[in-house]
Structure 1
Amino acid sequence: MTVSLTQVLSLEDFLKLPNLEDSPAWEYVDGIVIQKPISKTRNSILQKRLLTEVDSQTGDYTALPELRCTFGGQSIVPDIAVIAWHRINLNEVGEPEDDFTEAPDWTIEILSPDQKVIEGVRLTLTAQQIFAWLKVGQARQSQ
């Protein structure tokens, strides 16, 4: 189940919320705060397999799970964000900065059968990024 808060907040106020990093993740889309549903076992296994597969295909990109991406006045947490290494800012000691403030190159959302399309999907398309969306089907019954 997705939870949304009807109280309108600014993006700045949203990013200061004390429970922002609680699980499941909170997103900020068009001024509305939305909590994503928690992953189920099949979704988590699929996420792990996709992360491994994407990372094994190229050294130019990295696949990151549940990375907060804040861009265009929105803040989303895709199941998987694929980002070119050269777009990840490094601090003075060469470590990645904690905050990613751009749209990812590729967003992957793993949907449960009863879950609707998450608004973050639309945002990445609006940002003219590459996009993939997977839907996990109903459980199979043995015959």
Structure 2
Amino acid sequence: MTASSTQILTIEDFLKLPYIEESPAWEYVDGIAIQKPVTKTRHSILKKRLLTEIDSHSKTYTALPELRCTFAGRSVVPDIAVIAWDRIQLNEVGEPEDAFVEAPDWSIEILSPDQKVNRVIDNLLHCINYIA
């Protein structure tokens, strides 16, 4: 079961909330904060296998679990975000910036029994619509 905050928020206010990075992560869609469901064993094993498989077949892209992607008025946390290495912004000392503010090249969601399929598809379509 996912929790949601029915109070309408701006994305700036959402990103300041102290609990949004707690597990499970919170997402921001249409002014509402929605918590993702807790992952179960099969979900975690599948995610681990997909991450390993993707990373072992590409030097150009990396697969990142539970990366917050904030862009175009939403803040989503796909189960796996696949991103080209050259799209990851680096700071002045060459380390990756913490905030990823673009659509991932590829978003993977592993549908959990207690997730609403329409919400998951909506997030995936949002990502597809904003790929650079």
User: Does the 8 A contact of 2:37 with 2:114 survive in 1?
Assistant: no
Partner residue in 1 for 2:21: 21
Query: How far did 1:128 drift?
Result: 4.6
Partner residue in 2 for 1:126: 129
Partner residue in 1 for 2:31: 31
More strand by share: 1
Query: How far did 1:78 drift?
Result: 0.4
Letter in 2 for 1:20: I
Moved over 6 A (4+): none
CA radius of gyration, larger in: 1
C-alpha distance in structure 1 between counterparts of 2:17 and 2:113, whole Å: 30
Aligned residue pairs: how many? 129
Partner residue in 1 for 2:87: 87
Partner residue in 2 for 1:141: none
Partner residue in 1 for 2:48: 48
Deviations 1:90-138 (A, max 9, x none): 0111111111000000000001234222242231132257xxxxxxxxx
Task: Confirm or deny that 1:98 pairs with 2:98.
Answer: yes
Gaps of 5+ in 1: 130-143
Gaps of 5+ in 2: none
C-alpha distance in structure 2 between counterparts of 1:71 and 1:113, whole Å: 27
User: Does the 8 A contact of 2:37 with 2:112 survive in 1?
Assistant: no
The TM-score, its normalising length taken from structure 1, stands at 0.86
Task: Confirm or deny that 1:5 pairs with 2:12.
Answer: no
* Mapping of residues 55-70 of structure 1, within 5 Å: 55-70=55-70
State the percentage of identical aligned residues. 71
User: Does the 8 A contact of 2:104 with 2:131 survive in 1?
Assistant: no
Superposition CA RMSD, Å: 1.2
Deviations 1:5-48 (A, max 9, x none): 11000000000001111111000011111000010000000000
- Relative CO higher for 1 or 2, CA cutoff 8 Å, sep ≥ 6? 2
SS at match of 2:110: strand
